[in-house]
Amino acid sequence: MKTKQSDEKKNTGRDLTTGSIVDKVLLFALPLMMTSMLQQLFNATDVAVVGKFASKEAMAAVGSNAPVISLLVNFFVGISVGANVLIARSIGAKNEAKARSAVGTSMAVALIAGVFVALAGNLIAAPIIDILGVPPEVRAYSIAYLRIYFSGVPFIMLYNFESAIFRSAGNTRTPLICLFIGGVFNVAANLFFVLVLNMDVDGVAIATVLANVISSMMLLYFLRREEGVIRVEFSRIKINRADLSIILRIGMPAGLQSAVFSISNICVQSAINSLGADYMAASSAAFNIEIFAFFVVNSFTQTLVTFVGQNYGAGNYQRCRDVIRKTLLVSWTFTMVLSAILLLTARPLLGLFTNEPLVIEAGLVRIKCLLYAETLNVIMDNLSGAMRGLGKSLVPAVTTLICVCGIRIIWVFTGFQIYHTWLSIMLVFPVSWAVNATFIVIGYLRTRNKMLIEPLRRQEAQ
């Protein structure tokens, strides 16, 4: 007979409701950080390979698709936050039946959503590219890349939901390992398809799809071998209406928040496209550098979702407050250090993507505009993650819709039409962050008072 102790050893999860906060936050966040950075490094090879060995038009095509891909994929990835919170709360409350049911529902949602996005994406790929105003010399490349990428979305969706399941149990190491193996394959396949088979955007798109197949299937294999509550049983992969309701209530606003960023970025991308292929290429190259600072922020945001979710489920209200405060400090420190490093090395890093002087100079402008304001991202994203962990996703979603999407869209169709310059469109990023961060702080303080301070006072009074 298996003992409880042996089961705990086989369960790769981690109890986040006790022990040192900073140590556990770092053990949780660092693999997440490395996962995101590795994923971006592997994605950056798509841009670098076509930029160096194909053409700047092919490079521009890959970059121009980024906002579209983010819009449709991140919406459903945001829903996985709902799965993360539900499972984490169930684990914190020691409700094994609810946790197992939530895992099955999460897998079903991932499969259904992935197939839907793949089919819809292929149907609307060409119209989307036309709406974006992609130049004629880039259009065919953009459509080809987008259609192939969308074909692999079911595996991308599956990987993200599987990762959310592991995170809810405190395990961020296994998704990192699986991503690393898939990413190494992606780099090798990129070079093979482009250098050996003389392909361009279609080659790097196929390599990306195959890499995601490998990563998602590996995670599924490990979830099948789990001994704890997050073990995936094929017979349990079905929609539970109560679980789905909670996942959507928490996940839909998170998905909308991600989608809002993507919608506003599509508008910004259309403005960038109007400046020509050089600026499109510059934006693509710079994005693949400055995004690493965001990944640091995002790793701590996801950490807060899980830590706050488990502790709130366990009724540890004071620990929730301590987790939020200490994680914010650690997140800010890591983000500022990395931002400084990226700013100091920006020019040689841009040189890895292109040899065009204008592209490099324009890329430097984007990197400076975003990285100098990265502190705002720490406040905005981390506090949003804390509120999601408490089950309150609507507040950050609404503020982001108004402050980020609203400001960026208004500027693209007003100010940018008057000041039709590269700098004017880049400055819209820090300005929208500053306004959004202000309202996120107000929303968080109200949520904290209602969901943490008042229950804590009731506990102390008993």
Query: For the segment 395-422, what is each residue's pLDDT rounded down to a tens digit?
Result: 888 888 888 888 988 998 898 888 888 9
Task: Write down the residue that tokens 């992606």 correspond to.
Answer: 186
Q: Rounded to an integer, what distance in angstroms lies between the CA atom of residue 11 and that of residue 194?
A: 42
Q: For residue 53, what pLDDT is reported?
A: 62
Averaged pLDDT score across all residues of the chain: 84
In the chain, how many H helices and how many E strands? 21, 0
Structure-token pair, residue 417 = 């039409």
Cβ–Cβ contacts within 10 Å for residue 116, how many? 15
Confidence of residue 295 (pLDDT cuts 50, 70, 90): confident
- Cα–Cα dist 126/144, whole Å: 9
Query: What sign for the dihedral angle of Cα 420, 421, 424, 425?
Result: positive
Average pLDDT over residues 433-441: 94
Q: Which has more confidence, 195 or 107?
A: 107
pLDDT tens track for 360-386: 999 999 999 999 999 999 999 999 999
Provide the pLDDT confidence category of residue 346 given band limits of 50, 70 and 90.
Answer: very high
pLDDT higher than 80, residue 76: no
Q: Could you tell me which residue, 171 or 200, shows the higher pLDDT?
A: 171
Higher pLDDT, 449 or 62: 449
Question: Is residue 330 over pLDDT 90?
Answer: yes
Question: Quick one: average pLDDT of 228-247?
Answer: 87
To 10 degrees, the CA torsion angle through 248, 251, 253, 259?
A: -120
Phi, psi of 135, deg, nearest 5 = -55, 150
CB 214 within 8 Å of CB 181: yes
- Which tens digits make up the pLDDT trace of 3-51? 444 444 344 456 677 778 898 889 888 888 887 777 767 666 766 777 6
- For the record, the structure tokens of 447 come out as 């949520």
Counting Cβ atoms within 10 Å, is residue 44 exposed (0-12), middle (13-18) or buried (19+)? buried
Determine the Cα–Cα distance for residues 223 and 217; give it in Å rounded to an integer.
10
